[in-house]
Amino acid sequence: MKNVSFSVAAITIAISAASVHAAENSASESTVQANQQLKEYLPFDDQTDFENANRGFIATLDDSVIKKTDGSPVYDTSQFDFIDGEAPDTANPSLWRQSQLNAINGLFEVVEGEIYQVRGFDLAVMTFIRGNNGWIVVDPLTSNETSKAGLALLREHVEDLPITGVIITHSHVDHFGGTKGVINEDDIAAGDIPIVAPEHFFEESVSENLIAGNTMSRRASYMYGNVIDKGPDGSLGSGLGTTTAAGTVTIAQPTITINDTPQTETIDGVEMEFLYTPGAEAPSELMFYIPELNALMQAEEISHTMHNLYTLRGAKVRSGDLWAKYIHDVINRYGDDVEVSLGSHHWPTWGNENVVEYWEKQRDTYRYLHDEVLRLANHGETMLEIAEQIELPDSLAQEFYNRGYYGSVSHNAKAQYQLYFGWFTGNPSELNELPPEEEGKKFVEYAGGAEQVLEKAQQDVNEGNYRWAATALNHLVFADPDNQDAKDLLAEALTQMGYQAESGIWRNFYLSGAKELRDGVNEVATPDTGSPDLVKGLPLDIYLDYLAVRLNHPEAADQDFDINFEMPDVDEKFTISVSNGVMNYTIGEWADDAAASVKIDRAQLDSINLGEVSMEEAMDSGNITIDGDQTTVEKFIGLLDNFDFWFNIVTP
């Protein structure tokens, strides 16, 4: 991380910075006009969503702050209470409306006496279904603390019943992280409470949050607004919900796996028809229908927003084709009978006619995006050209549930191009572009120097041409990261784009980048997806894949050795082989010519990975024994890289 220097032209920079900071909380005239145009396009007089979001309200928390046992805050249900009344100039009016809806929190009755939801206690929604003997929990939120608070509210205001089932719809942490807030270790060990999840749930959950977890989580700190304040000129939430809880993340192995459509299971006397839907919103996902109640749990395949076909935190690209087909299948199966459709985010939709229209238009949104991208691509249009020109027809675009509060037409179109064609457009000039710092220096040189870039960028900012100004200033910042004038002006452009953004996560990205340009990188509380439960639950092959990623490959290029490992407490053994700058492994076998053989319990290995004890301390205490060349083991440990979470994003 580079420190900002004020050694040159300090007075000029200070004056410029002061003027920028004086205006940074104000919307420009260009922003006001852009937001007004959208307000005139959408049917803001329609109050149906507000009626549905408040329908069945029972109660909310007396104390809005959900805390850990040590008293530290995890989530505050009142943090978005400021989103009330007309949208300020600093907020896109459509996003403001969506954020008002997401801020409605508490316990709600969905189907009389049978289905309840806790909303606004976390990014996601937790659902409770009454079984013969207790409550079946669907998607127990991100953390133990928030799920426990939601369950307590249900038991206080509806009925104090035991938990008789847990259903996890998919492999994203906001839907399983609070598992041990509703059931405990004894419940899990006894095996009496069914835990239902889609096939590959456990592997996808832990691998996503570990193998690529550091970068994904850092980018998520932008995406969910963790690094910026909540307020009319800050984060309004994510569009998909409010924001993430910063509590204790847990996980449990499923006892019932869904891998077929339909797959009928009876949980505590409630018959459910499960639909296996991998590869759309999540690599591992399911929906289910309760015939007795004519109710669909739609998970995240159907939401009150256009969802992500690519998520800005970084993940595998999703298929609009698959997504549309899953919804089409639901329409064909249940369209004649359904009376309520509820999901893992947002509020339910009631009434057969309303539900079917909602399903059809959500289906057609993903179908339109997917098919139109391919149509234009087959005319030779490139990813950026397609994203710039594609628009949904009014029949889809004027439905609030199809607006880009979380996904967007722009980045979803790019995602579908990437899905089929990758990052390369076919133009050879783009085949081997310079990295950002080198490209920035050449751009500034061609433009005639930093002062010329600043002068022209200021003119564009004054005229509301923020997109190009941001592109030019980004080059300057990467060419000269100590140029605070450039950083402040870029922050101003990003701020205005944030104020115009209809997508909650676009707004959060813009405003997070602006803050770090002005103030530098500051550590804040974020969800810990590298929690003890996830680390301890890692299957051995995924854990070894993670070690292979951590290997510093250039430094290991001239190494060639094998090390055998035995973990007596879990009765497993494996060999790691380092050569040609990579690490391979073989589970269940040992190499005859290994440089060393290491005996270590899996529990001890987990403690080392969690930072509870160092490798040296474990060896000194006798919890690790090495037969053979100890220096090779030490060499291997020394080759394992550690990742800094708070790396730079908007500066080199």
Q: Which CATH number does the domain housing residue 208 bear?
A: 3.60.15.30
**377, HSE (Cβ side, Cα atoms, 13 Å):** 22
* Phi, then psi, of 52 in degrees rounded to 5: -70, -40
Assess if residue 579 is contained within a domain.
yes
Beta bridge partners of residue 290, listed in sequence order: 295
How would you class 26 by CB atoms within 10 Å of its CB: exposed for 0-12, middle for 13-18, buried for 19 or more?
A: middle
Can you give the pLDDT at residue 205? 86
Tell me what pLDDT residue 2 has.
31
Predicted local confidence at residue 611, as pLDDT: 79
| β-strand partners of 600 | 624
pLDDT of residue 8: 24
489 domain-assigned: no
Contact between 226 and 525 under an 8 Å Cβ cutoff? The reply is yes
**Average pLDDT of the segment spanning 442-451:** 97
**Backbone phi, then psi, for 342, in 5-degree steps?**
-130, 155
- Residues 6+ away with beta carbon under 8 Å from 413: 369, 372, 373, 383, 386, 387, 390
Helix (H) or strand (E) holding 459, with range, is helix 450-462
- The answer to whether residue 36 is domain-embedded is no
The mean-pLDDT minimum among 72-76, 339-343, 541-545 falls in 541-545
Domain termination site, one of 389, 420, 451: 420
Closest by CA position to 400, among listed 36, 641, 39:
39
Q: Distance between CA 226 and CA 474 in Å, rounded?
A: 23
Burial of 329 (0-12, 13-18, 19+ CB in 10 A): middle
Q: Is the pLDDT of residue 534 over 90?
A: no
C-alpha separations of 226 from 97, 218, 474, 508 in Å: 21, 10, 23, 9
Average pLDDT, stretch 27-53?
97
Q: Residue 512's pLDDT is what?
A: 97
Domain of 212, in residue numbers: 42-256+263-420
C-alpha pair distances (Å), 637 with each of 530, 543, 547: 20, 15, 10
Q: What is the pLDDT of residue 150?
A: 98
Burial class of 39 by CB neighbour count within 10 A (0 to 12, 13 to 18, 19+): middle
How is 122-153 classified by DSSP, letter by letter? SSS-EEEEE-SSSEEEE---SSHHHHHHHHHH
Q: What pLDDT, on the 0 to 100 scale, is given for residue 7?
A: 25
Query: The domain spanning residue 616 has which CATH number?
Result: 3.30.1050.10
Beta bridge partners of 129: 115, 136
Which residue(s) pair with 230 in the sheet?
235
Strand 195-198: give its sheet, edge to edge: 57-59, 106-111, 115-119, 126-130, 135-138, 163-167, 195-198, 256-258
**Over residues 424-433, mean pLDDT:** 96
Statement: residue 317 has pLDDT above 80: yes
3-class state of residue 433 by DSSP: coil
Q: Which two tokens stand for residue 69?
A: 């046992």
Instruction: For residue 194, give the nearest of 252, 107, 263 by alpha carbon.
Output: 252
Higher pLDDT, 616 or 443: 443
Query: Does 6 have pLDDT greater than 60?
Result: no
Assign 529 a pLDDT band (cuts: 50, 70, 90): low
pLDDT band at 528 (very low <50, low <70, confident <90, very high): low
Instruction: With beta carbons less than 8 A apart as the criterion, state whether 576 and 563 touch.
Output: yes
CB burial of residue 435 (10 Å; 0-12, 13-18, 19+): exposed
- What secondary structure letter does DSSP report for 435? P
Choosing from 377, 404, 420, the residue where a domain stops is 420
Segment 487-507 mean pLDDT: 98
407 and 553 part of one domain: no
Q: Over the chain, what is the mean pLDDT?
A: 93
User: Does residue 494 lie in a domain region?
Assistant: no
Decide: 615 and 635 in contact? Cβ < 8 Å: no
Sign of CA dihedral 474, 476, 480, 485: negative
Lookup result for tokens 């953390």: 143
Residue 22 lies in a domain: no
Cis before 194? omega within 30 = no
415 and 563 part of one domain: no
Q: Which of 391, 420, 449 is the last residue of a domain?
A: 420
Contact predicate 312/505, CB 8 Å: yes
The yes-or-no verdict on residue 404 having pLDDT over 60 is yes
Check residue 535 and give its pLDDT. 79
Distance CA 206, CA 200 (A): 10
Number of domains into which the chain is organized: 2
What pLDDT, on the 0 to 100 scale, is given for residue 440?
Answer: 97
- Band of the pLDDT at 3, cuts 50, 70, 90? very low
Rounded Cα distance between 50 and 52, Å, is: 5
CA angle 107, 109, 115 (to 5 degrees): 110
Band of residue 373 on the pLDDT scale cut at 50, 70, 90 = very high
The reported pLDDT for the residue numbered 537 is 78
Evaluate whether residue 430 is within a structural domain.
Answer: no
Give the range among 57-66, 401-410, 527-536 with minimum mean pLDDT.
527-536
For residues 485 and 518, the answer to whether their CB atoms sit within 8 Å is: no
Backbone region of residue 580 per phi and psi (left: phi > 0; alpha: psi in -120 to 50; beta: other values): left
What letter represents residue 382's amino acid? T
The answer on 543 and 416 residing in a single domain is no
Helical spans, DSSP H, in 209-319:
213-223
411 and 549 inside one domain = no
Report if residue 525 sits inside a domain. Answer: no
Q: Is the pTM of this model over 0.85?
A: yes
Q: Could you tell me the pLDDT band of residue 11, with boundaries at 50, 70 and 90?
A: very low
| pLDDT above 80 for 593 | yes
More confident residue, 269 or 524: 269
Per DSSP, the chain holds a count of helices (H) and strands (E) of: 24, 21
Strand order of the β-sheet with 624-628 is 582-587, 572-579, 560-567, 596-600, 624-628
User: Does 486 reside within a domain?
Assistant: no
Contacts of 647 (CB under 8 A, 6+ apart): 1, 215, 218
